[in-house]
Amino acid sequence: MSFSNLKKQSSLGSLTAKLVKEVEKSNNPQSSSGADERLWKPEMDKTGNGFAVIRFLPAPNGEDLPWAKVWSHAFQGPGGWYIENSLTTLGQKDPLAEYNRTLWNSGLDSDKEIARKQKRKLSYYANIYVVKDPANPQHEGKVFLFKFGKKIFDKIMEAMQPEFDDETPINPFDFWQGANFKLKIVKKDGYWNYDKSEFASAGPLLEDDDALEALWNKEYSLTAFTEASNFKSYEDLERRLNAVLNRNVTAPVRQEVTPAELEERSYQPTFEKKVEVEDDSDYGVPQTSLADSEDDALSYFAKLAES
């Protein structure tokens, strides 16, 4: 798709309709060799708060969705760390997901607690333009990848599907009719909390289309995060899980965890107390899930596209 077509689809509103269709499809990575310099991370100031202004960017050229959705596991067992992408991201069976489900269905509170500690975590990746970064002003005016969790994704969905009739829905990923995102972080009960974050008024990111096109061409691939090469086979994951849990296996392989991996694990926006119980639905407990919120948005914009 050319840049001129991108702008044309923006004015027609077809980008939003296409995006919502991709949400429906998504309902049905990262190298571990070191820190990824493409990733932008917010930082807390001396008062323990964080603030930055970013703009979510459209899908990269040749791709349909402006975010990538990845499930992963990160926990320490008696045999070492288990830090792996989950095959459930690809809609496939995953040995740890199956084991956790068995634990949950045992009916024992102790087994449920183990399952919670080992449960999968949801992360999103998107291209962003850094508008303001007081902690690192050298990042301003540049394109990065941004890793975020359900809380921020919910903010995006709320912008697309406002709660009140006097609010105008926006596509936060649109160059011309999107809006800057004011990222506000406070520490609450030891966790990063994003409740105060909000979108500003809608408007073009930049007035110059040539400059916008240049930014668009600097975006990073998002489909790369869900390529099969970023996921180990079921058998390899099962062997690693057996080694971490010290289950009876032949010749378990010890996995060394690099400092970069531990740093990446510590940066988990989804590690909030509310999120700790939201994924219990994986194990058969009725909960309001992320898929439900995405389905609501899909229904809303399907009607909007027809009007």
State the Cα–Cα distance between residues 114 and 108, nearest whole angstrom. Answer: 10
With 80 as the cut, is the pLDDT of residue 28 above it?
Answer: no
* CA-CA-CA-CA torsion sign (71, 77, 81, 87): negative
Based on the structure, what is the number of domains in the chain?
1
What pLDDT score does 47 carry? 85
Q: Which helix (H) or strand (E) holds 214?
A: helix 209-216
pLDDT band at 75 (very low <50, low <70, confident <90, very high): very high
With 50 as the cut, is the pLDDT of residue 214 above it?
Answer: yes
State the Cα–Cα distance between residues 263 and 254, nearest whole angstrom. Answer: 20
Of residues 192 and 255, more confidence is placed in: 192
pTM of this structure: 0.74
CB contact at 8 A, 202 and 179: yes
∠ Cα 51 53 55 (to 5°): 145
With 90 as the cut, is the pLDDT of residue 191 above it?
Answer: no
> Cβ contacts of residue 60 below 8 Å, gap of 6+?
127, 216, 219, 220, 221, 222
Q: Which domain holds residue 40?
A: 3-306
Beta strands in the chain (DSSP E): 39-40, 50-56, 67-77, 80-85, 121-132, 143-148, 179-188, 191-193, 198-202
CB contact at 8 A, 57 and 129: yes
pLDDT band at 290 (very low <50, low <70, confident <90, very high): very low
The pLDDT tens digits of the residues spanning 94-113 come to 999 999 999 999 999 999 99
CB contact at 8 A, 140 and 115: no
What is the rounded average pLDDT of the residues 205-230?
Answer: 96
What pLDDT score does 36 carry? 86
State the Cα–Cα distance between residues 115 and 113, nearest whole angstrom. Answer: 5
State the Cα–Cα distance between residues 105 and 98, nearest whole angstrom. Answer: 11
With 50 as the cut, is the pLDDT of residue 268 above it?
Answer: no
The CATH number of the domain holding residue 126 is 3.90.198.10
Give the three-class secondary structure for 75. Answer: strand
User: Which two structure tokens, joined as six digits, stand for 287?
Assistant: 């909960």
What pLDDT score does 277 carry? 33
Rounded CA Rg of the chain: 20
* CA-CA-CA-CA torsion sign (257, 260, 263, 269): negative
With 60 as the cut, is the pLDDT of residue 280 above it?
Answer: no
User: Which two structure tokens, joined as six digits, stand for 33?
Assistant: 């060799």
